[in-house]
Structure 1
Amino acid sequence: MLLGCIGDDFTGSSDLGNTLVKAGMRTVQYCGVPQSPADPAVEAGVVALKSRSVPAAEAVALSLRALDWLRAQGCRQFLFKYCSTFDSTPAGNIGPVADALAKALGAAPVIFCPAFPAAGRTVFQGHLFVADRLLNESGMEAHPLTPMSDPDLRRCLAAQSGNGVGHLPAAQVWAGPQAARDRMMAEAHAGRPFVIADAIRDEDLMTLGRAAADLPLITGGSGIALGLPDNFRRQGLLAGNAESWRPQPGRSAVLSGSCSRATRGQVARHLANAQPALEVLADRVMTGEMTEDMAVGWALSQDGLPLIYSSADPAAVSAAQARFGRDPLAHRLEEFFAETARRLVAGGVTRLITAGGETSGAVVEGLSLGRLEIGPEIAAGVPAIRSGNDLVLALKSGNFGDEDFFARADALLAGRERTA
């Protein structure tokens, strides 16, 4: 294994796997830290953790376990992947995990760049934009678990990390890999080894990849991986034999727990197309009026593409959190979706589409998935995924995908839509 990656959730990890597969690396996503060695043919291993919203100490411990396993596979470089909207809290988890990984690897400087231009995430003058809006005006300020009120990544990271935070401006990135590297080294020598890097185009991410060719640790969104495979390719280390994708016949279902603007638009399109949909109301779940058996029974009785969703608007989510408590409500909804996924698959569903990082993580854990094969891209940042011989999935971050994502994902998973 050449590149060892640690993802802080399952949707982001599949997003990263998608980037690496498209760039020509044989990539496997592992759900949790594996208990056995990897296949020697794997060139990039992505260990997906459910560590984004857990206590920082737990996130650090999980990430160091993943690092130990990846080092044992012989990895030459490591990547810590977090969300392209940098969603975290002032107490973690991005800073504490990066601190621990950098210390373990003796890494300095370390790039921090969540930019993903294909999905509208760019970094300029150290500030994170979502399309033409600053992060704190993009809807992320209303995130139920990690509200983002400050678009200045330097301030965000400095509040979380024990390391000094520097900046690699766009002008140095545009001047080429050597200029970018020189600026990073200067920041490290000045006591600012954690370097927020500007990037507004894919070309900028390729430049950053070249500049970081010999750095032990890189951090960012999936976009920061764009330029890494070519570093290994130039050394003649890539085999260049990608696995072929196989579509999956059978029944399908959608589980959506994301409250993002994008996912709410996808739910609205699904309803407008008169597709079957069952809304999961927090009050009914918490009081036991709605159960997993009810949801599964409904879904298995439907034709078309059944959607089970709890994608309420932020005001409704806040009201439910006030009634039941944020953590108890989140735990019960994740438990609901995990058990629903288990019963759907047991009932014959072979194509499962999920929306939302926490929901997707709950589903992956509920199904006890292990090694995942990364397939073709459905939408920017969202690949098709195969688990074993009879189950395929699309694990979508809440903010990703166009309004017709659910229908398009099912068509590609089923082989009704041609892959690129």
Structure 2
Amino acid sequence: MRRLNKYILVFPILLMAIASSCGPQSEKQEADVSKRTVWSKEQARDWYAKQPWLVGADFLPSTAINQLEMFQAESFDTLTIDKELGWAQNIGMNTMRVYLHDLLYEQDSTGFFHRLDQFLAIADKHQIKPMLVLFDSCWDPFPALGTQRAPQPGLHNSGWVQSPGYHALKDSSQYPRLARYVQGTVGRFANDDRVLAWDIWNEPDNTNASSYGEKELPNKVDYVLPLMNKAFDWARAMNPSQPLTVGVWAGDWTSYETLKPIEKASIDQSDIISFHNYDKAEDFEKRILQLQQYDRPLICTEYMSRGNGSFFEGSLPIAKKHKVGAINWGLVNGKSQTIYPWDSWQKPYDQEPELWFHDIFRKDGTPYRAEEVALIKRLTKGE
């Protein structure tokens, strides 16, 4: 009996020791995690050679105002997702860029993964392989779980939220939680052929000066840069079969020396190079030529803002000529209200703008501009 009591006492201690050795429990342990290296240029090119010409949109179903509403159990809308991805497939799109959120994992990781798996199944049904975005520095810095606010009339992206939010970003004690999110999510889908790539952080140094600038964390980039580098490490530790990337989106890309530190980190850490460009066709091509110096596959993960001079007819043929993937902002006009321009934050619109800023389809599936849809079909399907 005494011998049995001894084992009863020791067993919980053994369990605690085992548990303490698992997962990202501390920064020291994070640093000790073995990880794959950044892909060589040859590995990146080999991967890209197996892909079709990648064309798609940054996707949010029209019934969701942000990432949380898209994936929370109460508002996860598979019927709308299925319908709208069908419209995308019909015009030849084969990828979507889809935003996730750290709070979804914290709320219910099992349920979140189940719904993400459902989403991937629907996308696969439509022959679409999404790029999944883990973190995002754009718009509202104070995300909250639960029922999301209704759209503010006439305002572009009135409910989109950052990940991580203000408080998590400035608090390094939350790194272990964020590490669990990254490693749990990437690890769960690391060998899933339905996932195209992992976009670690969208526009990491965006301070949202024209919208939430006064509410932003001062010196935000000083907090983002070290966390972004850690997020690359956390993701790479799961040995994903898909490439990792962070897009460059603003600045002087003439040479590596002209890049800002966060842009250098983005280029250095990325298996494939991604970028944003919302300018005219000439500038779009100029940016491509600048980024070709890194000799890696290129995917433009945001473009097409009609009011800013960026159109399908200007940028998409250039992307095809240079074999650059092209993912435009917005598929269907919905609760994100990205048909309104960025300057709606200074002067909200009281009616639908004559010139849509983003998006391709109305909620009933009819295209905003039939000639744009015809162009996309012709370039993707050879019609």
With structure 1 as the length reference, what TM-score do the two structures score? 0.30
Structure richer in strand, relative to its length = 1
- Whichever of the two has the greater Rg, that structure is 2
With structure 2 as the length reference, what TM-score do the two structures score? 0.32
